[in-house]
Amino acid sequence: MQLNVNGQSHELDVEPEMPLLWVLRDELGITGPKYGCGMGLCGACTVHMDGVAIRSCLTPAGQVQGKVTTIEGLGNPAELHFVQQAWVEHQVAQCGYCQSGQIMTAAALLASKPAPTDAEIDAAMSGNLCRCGTYPRIREAVKAASK
Ligand code: FES
């Protein structure tokens, strides 16, 4: 099968039912998306498919339509995506494990809704869990990035 990830096309010999998260991490070595629950409950594995946030742990590779973007393809160290920049400025990350998923969800939200209300931010981010409890800083960073 063929997958486009972060602007690069990959020819892969994997079972179509293999979760996209496994393909990204184990086949392509793209480790920004994290394994948290494997059941679509925590958001650590969030990536974009044509700009829409999806759970890569629940998405069979064979059902991927369109371009996949992971945190590695959102920005780069020399030129951070504006959401990543807001994350740095608001020192959001604590342990950091969930943060790539948080940022991908926030970036998808702001791409579709550039100036969300607090309630819209909370609703959009509610599926991304953070065991360190960085939620207040996450909301502040999303609000800052929306300005
Ligand atoms: Fe995919 Fe938790 S690992 S939602």
pLDDT category at 140 given cuts 50, 70, 90 is very high
- The whole-model pTM stands at 0.96
Q: Is the CB of 42 under 6 A from ligand 1?
A: yes
- Please provide the DSSP assignment of 103-116 as one string: HHHHHHHHHH-SS-
Do the strands 8-11 and 2-5 form a parallel or antiparallel pair, or are they unpaired?
antiparallel
Testing ligand 1's pocket by substitution, the residue of 22, 23, 34, 41 carrying the most ligand atoms inside 8 A of its CB is: 41
Which residue, among 147, 143, 146, 101, has the nearest Cα to 126 in the 3D structure?
101
Q: Is the CB of 43 under 6 A from ligand 1?
A: yes
- What is the pLDDT, as a whole number, of residue 106? 98
The atom of ligand 1 lying closest to the CA of 38 is: 3
- What is the pLDDT, as a whole number, of residue 147? 75
- What is the pLDDT, as a whole number, of residue 108? 98
The atom of ligand 1 lying closest to the CA of 41 is: 4
CB neighbours of residue 50 within 10 Å: 12
76 forms beta bridges with 79
- What is the pLDDT, as a whole number, of residue 8? 97
CATH 3.10.20.30 residue spans of the chain: 2-74
Average pLDDT, stretch 118-123? 95
- Number of residues that this document lists for the chain: 147
- The pLDDT tens digits for 58-100 are 999 999 999 999 999 999 889 999 999 999 999 999 999 999 9
CATH 1.10.150.120 residue spans of the chain: 82-145
Q: Which fold has domain 82-145?
A: DNA polymerase; domain 1 (1.10.150)
Give percent of the chain with pLDDT exceeding 90.
97
State the CATH architecture for 2-74. Answer: Roll (3.10)
What value does the CA radius of gyration of the chain take, rounded to a whole number of Å?
15
